[in-house]
């Protein structure tokens, strides 16, 4: 809970590549909606990004670009704290402490590690394995109440809750009892999982080798039209019910993108387009995408010419984040008996 009695929200985006429609609909659009009701911290989680090798020049640019996209999309730095994770060293310090709290068995259950490491398990970074401890540190450092999470992050938030509880128990005789609040997931009804335009069973992702699989927030109008016109479909017409979308992941994805952007239910979209050709639907979807993405792109172009402003926002965010996190880390050191 913050000083103004608003519940605190923490979330972040990795600067690991070009931000896309999935990042926007699944995360950033929701961040904007939360700003008035909560005390929000929106982080650019660069330490998470380096769990997989990043080209240093690209990483620097991507950090700046995520900050610019936050601003261009409508996150207001007067309402929310926008900052870079590595600018606040308390994140790494608390993550180390959590490395010493989390049990190996807990990390072994994390499905995202299994998916990301795949058969290459012995050769991925140990940071990828302990990533959930850093995520717990991001959240608990600010005594966060609520974390907006998609399906993919639910398990990591459960682990954060386990870490908070174990810390509170392990140090209950030393001032740790109930020290960390147990954060709750903020499940947003409208948040959606956007899938690849080339394969409806895979999520739209920054790291997909094909840029045709995603709509990037910097794509120009022609490129958006091209990507949608080439998006995978099938020879059947648009059906009249959600049930009939079963086994047609690409169609389901395009319809849910349309519905998210137009704030309508999928069955309403189906009613409008049932029996119609995909070419008509794709034209309308492109128009809708252009009307959502182009204002962000135009703001981004303005911010590219005003880098000093973005830098100032990040400097201010760093100061505010340090002020808040310093209180927690000092208490944690004291509870544990460090230093
Ligand atoms: N396809 C998606 N649909 C809905 N939400 C998505 N998010 C990511 N992809 C989709 C949400 O965006 C936020 C930030 O994600 P992230 O940058 O921390 O990492 P990620 O989930 O691993 O995103 P990517 O694009 O797939 O990156 P790479 O390829 O680098 O791993 C999160 O809230 C996430 O749920």
pLDDT (tens digit per residue) in 71-88: 999 999 999 999 999 999
Q: Which of 15, 27, 31, 201 to mutate to test the pocket of ligand 1 (most atoms within 8 A of CB)?
A: 27
Confidence (pLDDT) at 190: 56
**Per the structure block, which two tokens stand in for 21?**
């429609």
pLDDT score recorded for residue 55: 97
Max Cα distance, the chain (Å) = 70
**3-state SS, residue 269:** helix
Query: Is ligand 1 within 6 A of the CB of residue 207?
Result: yes
pLDDT at 129: 97
Sheet holding 146-148, edge to edge: 81-84, 39-44, 8-13, 146-148, 184-186
Query: What's the predicted TM-score (pTM) here?
Result: 0.93
Q: Which residues of the chain have pLDDT under 50?
A: none
**Which pLDDT belongs to residue 41?**
98
β-partners of residue 184 are 146
27 C-alpha vs ligand 1 centroid, how far in Å?
Answer: 8
How confident is the model at residue 332, as a pLDDT?
98
Q: CA 231 from chain center: how many Å?
A: 24
Is the separation of the CB atoms in 253 and 200 below 8 Å? yes
Of all atoms in ligand 1, which is nearest to the CA of residue 15?
17
Q: How many whole angstroms separate alpha carbon 74 and alpha carbon 35?
A: 10
C-alpha span between 10 and 143 (Å, rounded): 9
Answer yes or no: are the C-beta atoms of 329 and 94 closer than 8 Å: yes
């Amino acid at each position: 809970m913050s000083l103004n009695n608003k519940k605190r929200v923490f979330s972040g985006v990795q600067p690991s590549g070009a931000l896309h429609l999935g990042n926007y609909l699944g995360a950033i659009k929701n961040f904007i909606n939360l700003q008035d009701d909560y005390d929000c911290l929106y982080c650019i989680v660069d330490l998470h990004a380096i769990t997989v090798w990043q080209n240093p020049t690209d990483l620097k640019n991507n950090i700046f670009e995520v900050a610019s996209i936050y601003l261009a999309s409508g996150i207001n730095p007067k309402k929310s704290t926008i900052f870079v994770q590595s600018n606040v060293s308390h994140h790494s310090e608390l993550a180390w402490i959590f490395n010493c709290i989390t049990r190996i068995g807990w990390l072994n259950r994390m499905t995202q590690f299994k998916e990301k490491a795949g058969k290459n398990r012995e050769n991925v970074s140990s940071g990828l394995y302990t990533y959930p401890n850093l995520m717990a540190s991001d959240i608990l450092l600010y005594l966060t109440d609520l974390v907006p999470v998609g399906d993919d992050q639910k398990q990591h938030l459960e682990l954060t809750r386990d870490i908070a509880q174990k810390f509170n128990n392990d140090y209950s005789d030393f001032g740790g009892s109930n020290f960390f609040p147990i954060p709750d997931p903020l499940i947003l009804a409208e948040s959606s999982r956007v899938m690849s335009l080339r394969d409806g069973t895979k999520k739209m992702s920054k790291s997909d080798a094909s840029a045709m699989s995603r709509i990037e927030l910097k794509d120009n109008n022609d490129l958006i039209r091209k990507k949608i016109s080439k998006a995978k479909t099938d020879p059947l017409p648009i059906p009249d019910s959600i049930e009939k979308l079963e086994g047609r992941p690409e169609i389901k994805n395009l319809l849910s993108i349309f519905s998210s952007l137009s704030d309508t239910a999928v069955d309403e979209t189906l009613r409008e387009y049932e029996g119609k050709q995909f070419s008509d639907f794709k034209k309308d979807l492109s128009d809708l995408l252009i009307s959502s993405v182009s204002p962000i792109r135009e703001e981004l172009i303005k911010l590219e010419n005003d880098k000093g402003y973005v830098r100032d926002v990040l400097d201010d965010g760093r100061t505010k984040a340090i002020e808040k996190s310093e209180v927690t880390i000092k208490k944690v050191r004291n509870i544990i008996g460090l230093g």
